[in-house]
Amino acid sequence: MFNLPECNNEIIISAMQELERRAFISAFIYLPCWLIIALNNQNNIFIQETYYPICFFFLIILFLHIILHYRFNQILQNNFHRARLLLTIIIIIPCLMLGSICSWCIYLHVSYNITVPFIIITAVLCTATSLLLTIDPIYKIMVPLAMLLPALTSVLVERSSDNLIFLPLAALNILYIFRSSQLKFHDYWHALITFSYFKQKSMTLENMAFTDFLTQKPNRLCADKQLKSLWEQAKTEQQCLAWMIIDIDNFKNINDSYGHPFGDICLMLVADALASYSRKVGGFFARYGGEEFVFIKICESGTEIHQMAQGLMQQSSKTRICHDDASINITYSIGVSSLCPNLTEQTSNDLIAQADQALYIAKHEGKNQYRCYGETHPYIEQQMQMLNTQSTCCSIPCEKQDNQCPPA
């Protein structure tokens, strides 16, 4: 009866966190209700004798609930059942206290100016609390018992004809609470489980959309998204963004000579080696299409850009593969470009185009090397320091492209 639906722990923890947030909000209602009625009936003996003890009791409960609120997530992660028990206790105790006050008013024949408001408040809060906390089925039973049972007991013991009218009203209220809580319980959990299911499906589809099927590395769509994000980050941090396009040398010959399955193995081998290096240096790596890959990283200097390119070239030593007793060393060429977004009017598309030009030169000059788009080390450092001018980093006019960086 009091068990939660069978679903994964993530959903249950999320539901319990939502339950605690709802309970924390409702915890602030009890003391104001008592103060409003008590302050409007200060001359009543019952109020005079119980005013401060009840205020102190509600304050203590509120203080304990505040402590639990800020530690609940930690307790929930460590011990789910303990967290659920503590939350139940801290919720039920003020409910029981309010029900007890209502019971005393009925049994002691306290003035109607006090008794009737307490009966109304108790019934309203009982219904509202039960429906608000319907996430956990325990409250559809415990809250009505804590709030209404003491008052009903007093009515039965006192047996006054004026109070007996409350019995059928209380019974109807309990039936309404039970049935409504049951329906809201099923509606809430059905909606939560359905939402979680579609959220998981959405995440799976998104992951598939941004992942290359063969290499299981980020694909071009993911690379374009990451480029946009890093471009804005580099602009904010006033840094340079390096874009390196990596192309496997003679890949068509590999496919033609050894077959496409062997070519796929080569792609996966190269992707693993380059991705491993990318994680090591904190860059982003993706398969851009065919035999092309990209590496993106925010860099602080031209020297760092060269170090990244040289590090990528050195990964070719990890891409040696055997086929029919023949050892094949897979090499690749790299085109490098970089721009400082805060210093230039050029866009990320220009960054990509410049790397393509640099790759073309690397291929044209013999492959198995990297080339940077029209740069020398001093030129890059000079551009990095020109924060008050509109210029580009690692980029010069096309007519100067013959001045290329040396191969790794």
Tokens encoding 39: 């302050």
d(CA 163, CA 16): 39
Element (H, E) at 323: strand 320-323
Q: Would you say 13 and 136 are in contact if contact means Cβ atoms under 8 Å apart? A: no
Tokens encoding 209: 């959309």
Residue 206 is among the residues annotated as catalytic for this protein: no
Determine if residue 357 is left, alpha or beta; phi over 0 gives left, psi from -120 to 50 gives alpha, anything else beta.
alpha
- Cα 261 off chain centre by: 39
Strands 326-329 and 320-323: antiparallel
Residue recorded with tokens 């210029």: 391
DSSP state of 341: G
The tally of CA atoms less than 13 A away on the side-chain side of residue 284 is 21
Q: Would you say 293 and 319 are in contact if contact means Cβ atoms under 8 Å apart? A: no
Catalytic residue selected from 291, 292, 345, 375: 291
Backbone angles phi, psi at 310, to 5 degrees: -65, -40
User: Angle at CA 17, nearest 5°, toward 13 and 21?
Assistant: 170
DSSP for 240-262, please give it: EEEEEEEEETTHHHHHHHH-HHH
Report which of 168, 138, 135, 179 is spatially closest to residue 21, judged by C-alpha positions: 135
Tokens encoding 244: 């390196």
Element (H, E) at 96: helix 80-107
d(CA 376, CA 378): 6
Which amino acid, one-letter code, is at 211? T
Which amino acid, one-letter code, is at 167? L
3-state secondary structure of 287: strand
The tally of CA atoms less than 13 A away on the side-chain side of residue 382 is 9
Alpha-carbon dihedral 247, 250, 255, 257, rounded to 10 degrees = -160
Q: Which amino acids are annotated catalytic?
A: 291
